[in-house]
């Protein structure tokens, strides 16, 4: 009985200290002159291990814990007071809306603390671009948030994880990164969360912002910026997930030759509130798919025309009469990023004019 009561007391005290924000995020031996950077680990290849040093495919992602990731790069201590937290440990193809909500809430909670100057998130590369955009729209702070990963597992010759992590921590502690939205630091380059995309299945230079270009370089222990993202993000974003425990169902259907509407109908029957159509070319819709999208819209499902091309603006009233069909266009967002914006938009409104405006704003 006594043991039970004292455990309850201890739990209550811990909960009080934690909720009061009195639990220091940084170690007691912290150097006052260095920024305080929290590393939130989520898994991926950066935490992966292979059978041999030459295993660069066929390894297991999400094996190494955050403390070992930090220990493997002692140079981090020269650029920041770092502390790690294992938020989850997954290969990023298993990322879900629930993981994103948990991550966004934790990032917002930490950035509200005066003793946290920036955050690095270690992440599998497959869905980095999605998590980066989700956080770009749901983190409400100017403080730097940098997402990083690796294309080679931690056990490989020339693993890219350590240098990528070092650059990410340097960037997250840099005053130059303040107010620039969520950033992806990889292969000595800095990309904007809204724009970045994975362009190669396996090479270390996979992250790019095709056509519009990356924001800057990480070189010689410093960030060098040359351009800025102009779309609204972070502190200017209207999306607030702090009280949400789920997001509306939005699914993606793909355009291709000999197209059909089977997957679309299944998504709508399963309760999708929004559909992203990754059309061919400028978001064109096949005659086989179009009636399904029209019926979905008549049932109240919001339809967004994106493109499988990956570059360029999907023109409103171009390849479809969006005004007449009451469809939305994705602007330059690829289908997986358009899915994120539509989910967040649907937490606020079902009005397609307002949603279209969001696609031109974020
Ligand atoms: N499948 C891995 C993941 O996204 C690949 C990687 O991290 O590079 O977790």
The atom of ligand 1 lying closest to the CA of 45 is: 7
pLDDT in tens, 75-93: 999 999 999 999 999 999 9
* Active-site residue, from 42, 45, 127, 138: 45
Output the DSSP codes for 243-312: T-S----EEEEE--TT--SHHHHHHHHTT-SEEEEEEBTTTB--TTTHHHHHHHHHTT-EEEEEESS-SS
CA of 92 to the centre of ligand 1 (A): 6
The pair phi, psi for residue 329, each rounded to 5°, is -110, 155
For residue 279, give the nearest of 326, 324, 327, 323 by alpha carbon: 327
C-alpha–C-alpha distance, residues 242 and 30, integer Å = 30
**The pLDDT of residue 160:** 97
Alpha helices in the chain (DSSP H): 2-19, 66-71, 76-79, 97-111, 128-138, 161-172, 262-269, 290-298, 322-325, 335-346, 352-361
pLDDT in tens, 193-202: 999 999 999 9
Is the pLDDT at 152 greater than 60, yes or no?
A: yes
The first and second tokens of residue 134, run together, are 């989700």
CA-proximal residue: ligand 1, atom 8 (nearest): 125
Is the pLDDT at 353 greater than 80, yes or no?
A: yes
CA of 91 to the centre of ligand 1 (A): 5
Q: How far apart are the first and last CA of the chain?
A: 56
pLDDT-derived band at 28, boundaries 50, 70, 90: low
Torsion of CA 185, 188, 189, 193, to 10 degrees: -10
131 in ligand 1 pocket by Cβ < 6 Å? Answer: no
**The pLDDT of residue 293:** 98
**The pLDDT of residue 100:** 98
Name the one residue in this structure whose structure tokens are 């999605």: 130
C-alpha–C-alpha distance, residues 36 and 55, integer Å = 35
pLDDT in tens, 249-308: 999 999 999 999 999 999 999 999 999 999 999 999 999 999 999 999 999 999 999 999
For residue 79, give the nearest of 162, 171, 160, 163 by alpha carbon: 171
Does residue 311 contact residue 335 with C-beta atoms inside 8 Å? Answer: no
Least confident of 8-17, 134-143, 199-208, 262-271: 8-17
Classified as helix, coil or strand, 118 is strand
CA of 292 to the centre of ligand 1 (A): 34
**The pLDDT of residue 31:** 87
User: Is-catalytic flag, 12?
Assistant: no
- Tell me the average pLDDT across 153-176: 96
Return the H-helix or E-strand segment holding 349: none
Does residue 223 contact residue 174 with C-beta atoms inside 8 Å? Answer: yes
156 in ligand 1 pocket by Cβ < 6 Å? Answer: no
**The pLDDT of residue 83:** 98
The pair phi, psi for residue 206, each rounded to 5°, is -70, -30
CA of 121 to the centre of ligand 1 (A): 14
Q: Among 43, 90, 92, 207, say which to mutate for ligand 1: greatest number of ligand atoms within 8 Å of CB.
A: 92
pLDDT-derived band at 30, boundaries 50, 70, 90: confident
Could you tell me what percent of the chain has a pLDDT over 70?
92
Q: Among 41, 42, 44, say which to mutate for ligand 1: greatest number of ligand atoms within 8 Å of CB.
A: 44
Classified as helix, coil or strand, 133 is helix
Does residue 146 contact residue 119 with C-beta atoms inside 8 Å? Answer: yes
CA-proximal residue: ligand 1, atom 3 (nearest): 124
Report pTM: 0.92
- Tell me the average pLDDT across 162-176: 98
For residue 59, give the nearest of 149, 152, 150, 125 by alpha carbon: 152
CA of 277 to the centre of ligand 1 (A): 25
């Amino acid at each position: 009985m006594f043991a039970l009561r004292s455990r309850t007391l201890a739990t209550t005290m811990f909960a009080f200290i934690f909720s009061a924000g009195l639990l220091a995020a940084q170690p007691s031996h912290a150097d006052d002159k260095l920024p305080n950077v929290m590393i939130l680990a989520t898994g991926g290849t950066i935490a992966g291990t292979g059978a041999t040093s030459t295993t660069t495919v066929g390894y297991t992602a999400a094996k190494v814990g955050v403390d070992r990731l930090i220990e493997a790069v002692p140079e981090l201590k020269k650029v920041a007071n770092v502390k790690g937290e294992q938020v989850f440990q997954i290969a990023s193809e298993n990322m879900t809306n629930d993981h994103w909500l948990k991550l966004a809430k934790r990032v917002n909670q930490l950035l509200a603390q005066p003793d946290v100057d920036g955050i690095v998130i270690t992440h599998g590369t497959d869905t980095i671009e999605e998590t980066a955009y989700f956080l770009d729209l749901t983190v409400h702070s100017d403080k730097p948030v940098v997402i990083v990963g690796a294309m080679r597992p931690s056990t490989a010759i020339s693993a890219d994880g350590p240098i990528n992590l070092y650059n990410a921590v340097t960037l997250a502690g840099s005053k130059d990164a303040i107010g620039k939205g969520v950033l992806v630091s990889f292969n000595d380059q800095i990309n904007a969360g809204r724009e970045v995309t994975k362009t190669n299945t396996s090479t270390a230079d996979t992250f790019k912002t095709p056509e519009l270009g990356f924001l800057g370089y990480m070189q010689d222990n410093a960030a060098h910026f040359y351009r800025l993202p102009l779309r609204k993000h972070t502190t200017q974003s209207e999306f607030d997930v702090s009280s949400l425990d789920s997001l509306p169902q939005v699914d993606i259907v793909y355009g291709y030759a000999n197209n059909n509407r089977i997957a679309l109908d299944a998504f709508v029957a399963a309760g999708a509130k929004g559909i992203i159509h990754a059309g061919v070319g400028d978001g064109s819709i096949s005659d086989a798919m179009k009636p399904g999208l029209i019926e979905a819209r008549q049932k109240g499902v919001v339809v967004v025309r994106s493109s499988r091309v990956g570059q360029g603006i999907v023109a409103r009233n171009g390849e479809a009469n969006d005004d007449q069909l009451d469809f939305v266009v994705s602007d330059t967002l690829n289908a997986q990023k358009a899915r994120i914006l539509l989910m967040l938009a649907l937490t606020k409104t079902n009005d397609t004019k307002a949603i279209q405006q969001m696609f031109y704003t974020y």
